Structure 1
Amino acid sequence: MPRLTLSRKIFLALATLLLGVLLIFAGFSIFGLQRGLGPYVAEIEIRRMDWLVQLLQKHYAANGSWGKLRDDEDAWRRLQMGDFGLANTDARGNEDNRLPPWYQRPPSREQEGQRPDGPPPWPRIDAGASRYAPPPWLFFGGRPSGDSPFQRLSLVDATGATVVGLVADPHEAARLPIRQGKGIVGYLVLAPLEGLKSEADRAFVARQSGIVMLTGLAGLVLALALSWLLARRWFSPIDALTQAASDVASGRAVTRVPVHGTDELALLGRTFNDMAARLDTIEASRRAWLADVAHELRTPLAAMRAEIEALQDGVRSFDDRTALRLHRQVMRLGQLVDDLRSSMREPQDLAPPTRAAAYPLVLLMEAVGMTRERFAQCGIALDASGVQAVGARAQPLVDGDARRLHQVFMNLLENTLAYTESGGQLHLDARVDDTPDGPRLVLRFDDSAPGVAPDELPRLFERLFRGDTSRNRATGGSGLGLSICRATVEAHGGTIDAFASPLGGVRIVLALPLVAAGGSS
């Protein structure tokens, strides 16, 4: 059994909907045709009876009312059968046997050139007097058929009350007004046929019903074809996304899907491409990171291997100096592993399990005190007067881990010691800013040359990244210090960024949210 895909489901749903609409349309159309055929035919039939309206107008003009015809079926029938004397009775009751103007007495058989015993001549009708004339059987004594309109005729007065004839539904029946002067004195009413009594009627309805069904079927076929084409076109991007997702899951992160238009599917395609691009970038970064880690680990391992092989070959003897060199490499290897573990932690993992009050300016000044002698040995001037001035007024308070904040300050100072040239300087400054999110302590570290290229500044906090390739591992450390700083600061709800320093080096700006601030700069 074929798999029922989403496009097939949509197509089947549309097909079911269209079929239901077709059946409803055809049913109502045929029902309306059957119900509307009778009134339509009645409207056509009554408009051919204006000759009878003229007779009724003359009768009303001669008698002044419908009293003579009221409930008199015989008089009503004689009037329909052409009793012109009844129609022309004057006000004194005298019959005027003059025929109506549209009727001319038929010529004799001799005048028509027929035999005396031949059929009667056809009555002549004056076409200028009336559009229609009474049927021939009115003049020759014929009788109407079973579905004759004369069996469904009635006369109603101006108020709508039936004078004579069949009582018809005023909403279904067709009618012609009978006028006297400018007013309406009555209506000639013709009731529609009830049902389809003749074969011609049924054949007409059947033909029209067939046309309706054929039209509906043609529309259904066209709609289904369009639905199938549109479903394939609409869902082809989903098929492409499915294949692309499978490719990405297989490790081919370079896969992209074509995007056309601005609808929701196009937005989904662009989102997928962005995700694939990120995965590709992350995968490339992961490969580069693993290569850098392997390179970093190789250095101390190679040094240890060289020392051990020298001892095995007897080139060197194991003494205190050899032990010190091996110990130094082991400690460096351990420090590198610790830095890697710290840099791999996410900010939420670095969040201290139990927070406590910490004074960041005190911690910074402790770190300055521990490294001041080394700054002096390297010939780098250290100016922390801005920090001391803020701390003298009040000590800002943060909620965090004092040990990790102290490590951040030590890493930033070690970074300056590792990369700033002799004869340079480091300037520390601090201030308290009021922000919509509350007070924040802003610390600024400005060192002198060498600097970092502008396009490399955002990458200083990436793992194992060095802005200057000339700085070797002996002087530059593992390349993980700033990455650890960023993870720790973000775990405390703060931010840390790198900019070009006006002193020629790098400016590090660190901001921490405060619990309370005792003063401002």
Structure 2
Amino acid sequence: MTMTDTTANTAPLPAVPERHPRTGNPGPRSGSKVPARWRIAGWILLTTALTLLAVMLTMRSLLLNGTQTQAHQDITQELQEFRAFAAEGVDPTTAKPFTSIEKMLEIFLSRQSAAQGEVIVGTVGQRILYTPTGALSSQANGHDLPRDQALMDSIRTGDASSGIAHTSEGEMHWVRLPVVSGNETGHLIVGIYMAPREAQVAGTVLTIFFVSLGGLAVTAGIAWLVAGQILSPVREVRRVAEDISESDLTARVPVRGSDDISALAVTFNTMLDRIESAYRTQRAFVDDASHELRTPITVIRGHLELMEDNEADRARTLALVDDELARMGRIVSDLLLLAKVDRPGFAQPRRTDAATLLLDIEAKAQVLGPRGWPILEIAEGSISVDTQRMTQAVLQLATNACQYSPEESTVSLGSRFEGEGGARQFTIWVSDQGRGVEEEEAARIFGRFHRGQAAQDTERARPGAGLGLAIVRSIAEAHQGSAWVRSTQGSGATFGITVPSPIYDDDGDAGPGGNVTERLDEVKEHQQ
């Protein structure tokens, strides 16, 4: 019997990254452990160092080329001086023409003072002519050209009239000038040792090097400070992110200036605003739901626990439970609607006809209760609103007006345009003949779970959670408008919504609603 190793075909499970204990985000990934400030300063320092190195190498090359050029110019100058001296052909000591090349070279060499690293030698046959101040100045460099027989022979007898000789003290650039007088031939040899001049170049480069080191130190300090200044907003973002907790989302990053880092801070703050808004909406929904649903749940539980074992009590209890469950359903629906207010697309304005909108709302309001529903004012023209949301809000106002006004009373409707041009506004209102709203109560009546004094009247108490007017306000604000109330205690109240309404080029029919002209005529006849 054979056994199969099942582990051979089993793929290893991927490793689950560790997450932050508080935020739940994945733990740090592999990457550079060097702080960003050090990296920025390091790259600036490295770039500066490479630039200075390139400058030093370029400077050294230019200085060396300059020393060679200067050496050649010095050699050329010595040769030109000898040519001018030979052209005169007069011995300054006797004021007579030279009688020999040897004498000419002796007089010329005796009058020369060679610079450092320069050697001037004259040769006639095998004889080498020099003076202590001229030819022997090369001894200061550690090399004595007149006594270097091999090098002298190569220079005198070689085919080249110039060249570079390698001596014990480095390179020597030399030039040989032949001097001919009759059958007699001599040479003037001028040489320049490059080692002293190269040593001067090395000293200059070394000075530049130490100055560059000082510059690098200053650059490092400045880079450290600048990197700190640049990353300061990033550190603020990190600090704010660390300070944010599940219960506190109010921290924000200070915004200074208008550069890219400031734009990052603005974007981060905007993101926090959205998160905080969503969090507050969620928390408000949870708090409101828990607050409002607690009472019906308690009522249902209490009646179920006290329900007697008879058909009449069961029917009464089940009816109460059904009513409470319906109320819970309305509360949940209203809370879900309020939770969606801040989401994009809650209100989707479309161009529609203002008269059609009001007439449709009036037709739907007829079934809310036995009231008179006259239209006292009607706006004619095009507006941009979400007809469903606006209808929902006005019907909520009509429902409240019907609930808190006497039966057979009148609930009036109306709409109008206010203002001109870009400041024009559209207002739609509902007016009842109820007990009205007190001035202090009007300031908070559109808040969540606020039930007015009229709701305290046991004779006309309307079951609800006090979310209707909050929904009306939210719909108005979703249209960039506002909800309002005007009332005199004991003389009824007028609730309305005012939203911006730009003027369109043409005011034609928009949206369903039947023959608007005929319906407007009917309204006008009814008003007369």
TM score, norm. by length of structure 1: 0.56
Whether contact under 8 Å (2:375, 2:414) holds in the other structure is yes
**Are residue 478 (structure 1) and residue 465 (structure 2) matched?**
yes
Does the C-alpha gap of structure 1 residues 280 and 408 become closer, same or farther in structure 2, counting only changes over 3 Å?
closer
2:339 to 341, 344, 364: 344
1:327 to 322, 328, 348: 322
SS in 2 for 1:359: helix
> Whose relative contact order is higher, 1 or 2, with alpha carbons under 8 Å and at least 6 apart?
1
What letter is aligned with 2:304?
Answer: I
Number of the residue aligned with 1:466: 450
Number of the residue aligned with 1:209: 205
Deviations 1:11-47 (A, max 9, x none): 3321221122111211222223233446678999999
Deviations 1:187-245 (A, max 9, x none): xxxxxx99x73432122112111111221222123212322343234324323422432
1:414 to 399, 403, 413: 399
**Are residue 34 (structure 1) and residue 64 (structure 2) matched?**
yes
Partners of 2:426 and 2:499 in 1: CA distance: 5
Number of the residue aligned with 1:449: 437
Equivalence map 1:211-290=2 (5 Å): 211-248=207-244, 252-257=248-253, 263-266=259-262, 268-269=264-265, 272-273=268-269, 275-276=271-272, 279-280=275-276, 283-284=279-280, 286-290=282-286
Superposed CA RMSD: 5.7
Partners of 2:500 and 2:253 in 1: CA distance: 43
1:509 to 494, 497, 510: 497
**Are residue 386 (structure 1) and residue 377 (structure 2) matched?**
yes
User: Which range moved further: 320-329 or 14-23?
Assistant: 320-329
Offset, 1:7: 2.8
SS in 1 for 2:428: strand
Partners of 2:385 and 2:263 in 1: CA distance: 42
Whether contact under 8 Å (1:408, 1:484) holds in the other structure is yes
Whether contact under 8 Å (2:377, 2:413) holds in the other structure is yes
Does the C-alpha gap of structure 1 residues 455 and 39 become closer, same or farther in structure 2, counting only changes over 3 Å?
farther
TM score, norm. by length of structure 2: 0.55
Partners of 2:33 and 2:199 in 1: CA distance: 47
Whether contact under 8 Å (1:247, 1:255) holds in the other structure is yes
Offset, 1:467: 7.5
Number of the residue aligned with 1:179: none
Number of the residue aligned with 1:24: 54
Deviations 1:256-295 (A, max 9, x none): 5566666543554465456546645654554344222222
Offset, 1:431: 3.3
Offset, 1:478: 2.2
Number of residue pairs aligned between Structure 1 and Structure 2:
390
For structure 2, the 5+ residue unaligned runs are 1-30, 97-109, 112-120, 122-128, 139-160, 162-189, 502-506, 511-515
Deviations 1:357-405 (A, max 9, x none): 993222221134234625x7xxxxx652213xx5xxx797989776x65
Deviations 1:45-84 (A, max 9, x none): 9999xxx9xxxxxxxxxxxxxxxxxxxx866525498759
Whether contact under 8 Å (1:359, 1:398) holds in the other structure is no
What letter is aligned with 2:356?
Answer: Y
2:363 to 348, 361, 366: 366
**Are residue 8 (structure 1) and residue 38 (structure 2) matched?**
yes
What letter is aligned with 2:496?
Answer: I
Partners of 2:453 and 2:42 in 1: CA distance: 64
Partners of 2:62 and 2:494 in 1: CA distance: 87
Partners of 1:82 and 1:147 in 2: CA distance: 25
Deviations 1:320-349 (A, max 9, x none): 655544433232223223333333345667
Partners of 2:195 and 2:90 in 1: CA distance: 27
Does the C-alpha gap of structure 1 residues 32 and 445 become closer, same or farther in structure 2, counting only changes over 3 Å?
farther
What letter is aligned with 2:413?
Answer: L
Partners of 1:383 and 1:147 in 2: CA distance: 127
For structure 1, the 5+ residue unaligned runs are 53-72, 87-94, 96-121, 124-136, 149-165, 167-192, 377-381
Does the C-alpha gap of structure 1 residues 327 and 455 become closer, same or farther in structure 2, counting only changes over 3 Å?
closer
Equivalence map 1:48-447=2 (5 Å): 76-79=85-88, 145=135, 197-248=193-244, 252-257=248-253, 263-266=259-262, 268-269=264-265, 272-273=268-269, 275-276=271-272, 279-280=275-276, 283-284=279-280, 286-312=282-308, 318=313, 322-345=317-340, 359-371=356-368, 373=370, 384-387=375-378, 390=379, 406-417=391-402, 428-431=413-416, 442-445=427-430
Does the C-alpha gap of structure 1 residues 75 and 410 become closer, same or farther in structure 2, counting only changes over 3 Å?
closer
Partners of 1:264 and 1:420 in 2: CA distance: 60
SS in 2 for 1:478: coil
Does the C-alpha gap of structure 1 residues 476 and 436 become closer, same or farther in structure 2, counting only changes over 3 Å?
farther
Offset, 1:516: 3.1
Does the C-alpha gap of structure 1 residues 237 and 44 become closer, same or farther in structure 2, counting only changes over 3 Å?
farther
Does the C-alpha gap of structure 1 residues 25 and 410 become closer, same or farther in structure 2, counting only changes over 3 Å?
same
Partners of 2:482 and 2:226 in 1: CA distance: 51
Partners of 1:515 and 1:237 in 2: CA distance: 54
Partners of 1:355 and 1:396 in 2: CA distance: 7
Does the C-alpha gap of structure 1 residues 401 and 265 become closer, same or farther in structure 2, counting only changes over 3 Å?
closer
Partners of 1:446 and 1:327 in 2: CA distance: 33
Does the C-alpha gap of structure 1 residues 255 and 497 become closer, same or farther in structure 2, counting only changes over 3 Å?
closer
Partners of 2:406 and 2:90 in 1: CA distance: 131
Deviations 1:395-418 (A, max 9, x none): 97989776x654433212123345
Does the C-alpha gap of structure 1 residues 290 and 471 become closer, same or farther in structure 2, counting only changes over 3 Å?
farther
Identity rate, percent: 20
Number of the residue aligned with 2:484: 499
Partners of 2:277 and 2:385 in 1: CA distance: 36
What letter is aligned with 1:412?
Answer: L
Offset, 1:455: 6.5
Does the C-alpha gap of structure 1 residues 247 and 419 become closer, same or farther in structure 2, counting only changes over 3 Å?
farther
Partners of 1:467 and 1:84 in 2: CA distance: 133
User: Which range moved further: 407-416 or 276-285?
Assistant: 276-285
User: Which range moved further: 204-213 or 10-19?
Assistant: 10-19
